[in-house]
Every structure is written in C-alpha cells, then in structure tokens.
Copies of this chain bind each other. A is one copy, B any other.
Amino acid sequence: MKSFASDNYAGVLPEVMEALNNANHRHARSYGADDITNDTVQLFRQAFGADVDVHFVFNGTGANVLSISSATQSFNSVLCSETSHIYCDESSAPETFTGCRFFPLKSNNEGKLNTETIRQRLIRKGDMHYAQSSILSITQTTEYATVYSLDELKAIGDLTRSNNLYYHIDGSRFFNAAAALGCTLKEMSTDVGVDILSLGGTKAGMMYGEAVVVFNKELSKHLAYKHKQSMQLASKNRFIAAQFGAMLKDELWRTHAAHANAMAQLLQKSIADIPGVQITKPTQANGVFAIHPVQWNEKMWEHYPYYVWDEHTNEVRIMCSWDTSAEEVKDFAVRMAAL
C-alpha cells in the first residue's frame, strides 16, 4: 500500500538509514556533546551561510514550541495563521508550555499571511491588558502546500524587524519549499531576516528529528535550558545529528524533496482534467488540493488513502512523499478517472 495521506507515512531514506547504521559504533557523549553533532552543526552553518545555533529536537511540535519559547515570556502573545499547524494541530502544547496567547490571523486563499494582515494586528503595544505580541510564526511550505516567494518572505522580515517582532518559520516542509523555489536554504532564511526556524526532518525522509535553527543570537540566550525543559533533548543525540548530516551533505534533501514536488505536479496534471475534479490551490510543493465528489473517497481509499481537508466541500489533500513513484501517481489518476 502506498498512501497519499501524509508524507509522514513514508519510511526512512536509504541514505539516512545508512547514516544511522554508521553512527552506531563506539560510545559517544550524550546530550549533543558528541563529534557527530558537532560536525553536523558545521554543516548547518555552511548551508545557512550564518553562525547559526542548532538545537536538535524530536518532532515538529517540539520544534515549534521550543522556537516560540525562545522569543516569549508568558505575558506575550504569538501571531500565526488561522490555518497553521501550531494553531490547529498541536493540541494546547504551545499554550501549556509557554503560557502565551496565540492570535490567529486570516490567511489568504493560498494559506499565506500577507503583510497587511499582520500589520493590522500590531495593536495595543504597551497596554498591560493585552498580551503583548513578540513573535510572528509563518509556515513554509504552508498547510496548503503552497510556497511563499523570497520576496514575500523578505517583506514579512522587513515588517517584523521594524516592529520589534521576532520572525519564526515553521519549516516542517522547508526542504520542499527550497526545492520548489530552486533556492538555497540560506536564501530562504538568513537572507530574508528569519530569527528562528523549525527545520523539518521527519517528513523529508528522516526516521525522527527536527532542528531548531537560531539566526538571532538574542534568542539563543536561554535556549539550552529551554531545550531540556521542553522535554526535547535526546540523550543519544548523535542519531538525530547523523540523519541531518546525511540530509545536508551535498544537498541530499534537494533531490528527494524535488522528487516529491515533481510527483505532486504530475498528479495535479493527471487529475486536473478529470470531469468532477477541481484543483483548489496552486500546486507548488508536494501536495495537491482538489475538490471531487464525496462518493469517490471510499473507492479511492481502497487503494490510496488521503485526507479530507474540508468536510463541507470535500476538498481533499493528496500528498506525495520522497518514495512516491510516477507509476503510483498514474495509477491513482487512472482509478479516479474511472469513477
């Protein structure tokens, strides 16, 4: 069975699995004081073209919550998209751990925030009755598998900097975005003014592990303490680092992310003209959003699971991953066309 439900249904990239096997010899100091971790951090600094600090964590919720906590005290608020993972899919973890309020902002049809929407929420500064906004969080790629352009990212960076807001990107699919834009990791982070990034590994083909990448040294100040406090510090940290090492070496991530993106393009093209199918979002990364008759779901799911994103309209999300094959995509389309 190959699923189109989520890229986290996929397994582990062979290169990553090899790196795990290779990392498993000898003793290594725990909690990140080992050589593999040290080497991998150097790879991050090269890839991001900056003297970043890196904190390896277990999962995306951990990465987001730790990132947010670096820039907040409990009287603060966080601005994010109403459709964001941190707002919709991480339970109350963000509030419970940080104590902060999360204000949802309206995203546009592509699931993106624009600067005008953000600007309108920059209110009541200095008013003690209002949880003071200290950080903005956006998602790249978005929950609709769309991609902010470098200009859009830069515009948001300019806005946050001039308003004393920190700038966070939830990049659980950051590699897919960079592959889609054909840019480097540096161009999509350092160069647009990001302060802190949740860099996703799991959906990109790792077994587990994400990285909190810190560009703004102010946010590093207490982060080692918060890392441990957030229950996200691995004792055998080398095994997360080794995976990221494999991903970053010679931009391995790009090959696999580009493939997943290409499969989504192929899928979109393959189903767009099927009568009854309406593509609802531009296909820019590794997911396709479409509306089709609700009665198709059950039949399609016998072979290819996917998610219903909006029950009212039967808008569905069809997700490709690093191991999705062109044959599977074509078979998916053929089966759908036959309904």
| Chain A residues close to B by CB (< 8 Å) | 1-3, 5-6, 8-12, 17, 20-21, 23-31, 58-62, 65, 73-77, 88-97, 99-102, 104, 128-132, 202-203, 207-208, 222, 224-236, 239, 323
Contact = CB atoms under 8 A, between A and B. Distances in A.
A2 B29 CA distance: 10
A222 B27 CA distance: 39
A93 B230 contact: yes
B17 A75 contact: no
A226 B229 CA distance: 17
B207 A239 contact: yes
| Closest 6 pairs between A and B when the two form their complex, measured CB to CB | A96-B99, A8-B235, A92-B131, A91-B229, A75-B225, A9-B27
Contacts of A8: 30, 235-236
Given A96-B99, A227-B128, A235-B202, A9 B21 contact: no
Contacts of A31: 128
A24 B9 contact: no
A8 to B, nearest CB: 4
B101 A95 contact: yes
A38 to B, nearest CB: 15
Contact of A59 (B58, B92, B323): B58
Contact of A76 (B20, B92, B102, B224): B92
Contacts of A89: 129-130
